Structure 1
Amino acid sequence: MQKPLQGRIAIVTGASRLKGIGAAICKELASQGADIFFTYWTKYDQQFSWGVEQNEQELLNQQILHMGVRCNSAEVDLSSPTEITKLLKMVRDQLGDPHILVNNACYSTDDNIENVSPATLDAHYEINVRGTTLLSSEFVKSFTHESGGRIINIISGQSLQPMFNELSYAITKGAVETLTYTLAAAVADKRITVNAVNPGPTDTGWMNDKLKQEILARSPLGRIGQPADAARLISFLAGDEAEWVTGQVIHSEGGFRRFGG
């Protein structure tokens, strides 16, 4: 029996860590039959206490291959426009013309109105806004299929509440919501849909026990979001059943109460 995404080729950015949302997206799309090309940037992940192991990307590649689909990957600096152009060429040369683009990669460091700097603003802009926009543009320009085009952006609910201790992250990821519905209208004639997913607080290894308890207290479903939760929604948006869904920002947070109560 043919799987829903069989014969489709998906690009997933930001899949460095096996516990991350990017890896879960790759595996979910692969389980539905899609061939996968994922990118990673270990220099970024190594800045954080949870870090990344050297062989995680190879392990992910092997896990996907064992699902019976094709898989390739590359370390790509998405802050470089030249690298973005090379990425699309690599995908076409190694797998074929892509159908699906999942803009999962991001740049995030804490800052606020007191310590924000040109350097931190630029670093966030280069990945979260410029990289996402240019990669989407390259995907659209090279799209050759008659239908089935999908661009899915990952956001963090910037429109739902202030994030004053993550100023640069909030304003640049907030721009991706605007990009989503603006681009959806621009590419509809190419049979490409564009949507964004906010997975809410998701346990990818960065939460400490205290934070987990605080999140649980605001989670009516009694648990914290897992990467697989986001991946299943993205898989739906990537398939034919979601062909009528475009320009939408979907907050899939398990009823998370952001302001208590």
Structure 2
Amino acid sequence: MTKRPIAIVTGASQTRDIGAAICRQLAMSGHDLVFTYFKATADWATSFTTELENQGARVLAIELDLGQADAADDLFDQVEDFGTPSILINNAAHSTMTDWRTLDAASLDQHYAVNLRAPLLLATRFTKQFVEAHLTSGRIIQLTSGQDLGPMPDEIAYATTKGALSTFTKTYAAAVAPLGITVNAVNPGPTDSTWMDEATRTALKPSFPFGRIGAPEDVARLIQFLVSPDGGWVTGQVIHSEGGFER
């Protein structure tokens, strides 16, 4: 029996969020899953685990606050008995409105901890266990929001910390390519997941030439390609998969 690769997906906390869509897509394509959730109910995590298991996946659900300094160590300590992951999807994010009037040290630190520090520390822990397990093919993917395509003046802390992931992606890709690990970032553009209300949908829809807003499943399918053997020659890239979104 072929052993299923193990993927870690951070930030799967609601049925319609991007993290949940990624988990479903990877479970359907033959992966076992470790997903982290935060501010979700235990009942939801249990039911979502069952949903993924019904697709044939082994699943480990971990309640985790990625804002804590020891979050990466905590996660990998819990994953140790589950197996060695060959895929890391840094999807979790912290976002609040911060313009020049409201930005302060506390809000900046909160964004930094989840959006930048956690992905970097998770990536380094992932790489260390990858080497110790003598694996030869791995994938790291971060989710960004197109911060390098235009200004976000009402979300200064979010734009700054998530934007730094693009630089990290390019630098870390070069660092771990000799180990057989690819590192990429995906910007899915405005996605109709958990944050959109009807007014937002109405305002954004004309900016999509396909006549619809992006769905969580759109980015999940791209990530499935990137983690597959067919995606093994793509690394150090920030992929703007926005369905032609016009700013």
Flag whether TM exceeds 0.5 (same fold): yes
2:194 matches 1:205: yes
Match of 1:132 among 119, 124, 127: 119
Partner of 2:28: 31
Pairwise CA distance, 1:53: 5.2
Within 1, Cα distance between the matches of 2:178 and 2:68? 29
- The percent of aligned pairs where both chains have the same amino acid is 48
Secondary structure, aligned partner of 1:193: strand
Match of 1:40 among 28, 37, 52: 37
Aligned length: 245
Within 2, Cα distance between the matches of 1:91 and 1:141? 14
Query: Could you give the per-residue CA deviations for residues 176-205 of structure 1, whole angstroms, max 9, x where no partner exists?
Result: 000101000000011000000001110113
Moved more, 161-170 or 204-213: 204-213
Within 2, Cα distance between the matches of 1:231 and 1:213? 24
Within 2, Cα distance between the matches of 1:191 and 1:81? 28
- Paired amino acid for 2:84: D
Match of 1:92 among 59, 63, 80: 80
Partner of 1:68: 56
5+ residue gaps in structure 2?
none
Counterpart contact for 2:71–2:118, Cα < 8 Å: no
Pairwise CA distance, 1:235: 0.7
Within 2, Cα distance between the matches of 1:85 and 1:224? 37
* TM-score between both structures, scaled by the size of structure 1: 0.91
Partner of 1:122: 109
Query: Could you give the per-residue CA deviations for residues 42-96 of structure 1, whole angstroms, max 9, x where no partner exists?
Result: 1xxxxxxxxx555222221111000011001111111223231121121121x21
Secondary structure, aligned partner of 2:66: coil
* TM-score between both structures, scaled by the size of structure 2: 0.96
Within 2, Cα distance between the matches of 1:70 and 1:53? 20
Within 2, Cα distance between the matches of 1:83 and 1:105? 12
Partner of 1:17: 14
Counterpart contact for 2:186–2:238, Cα < 8 Å: yes
5+ residue gaps in structure 1?
43-51
Secondary structure, aligned partner of 2:182: strand
Counterpart contact for 1:14–1:40, Cα < 8 Å: yes
2:44 matches 1:56: yes
Counterpart contact for 1:103–1:132, Cα < 8 Å: yes
Query: Could you give the per-residue CA deviations for residues 3-26 of structure 1, whole angstroms, max 9, x where no partner exists?
Result: xxx620000000011110000000
Within 2, Cα distance between the matches of 1:77 and 1:160? 29
1:137-152 to 2 correspondence within 5 Å?
137-143=124-130, 144-152=133-141
Counterpart contact for 1:13–1:39, Cα < 8 Å: yes
Consecutive aligned runs of 4 or more in structure 1 exceeding 3 Å deviation: none
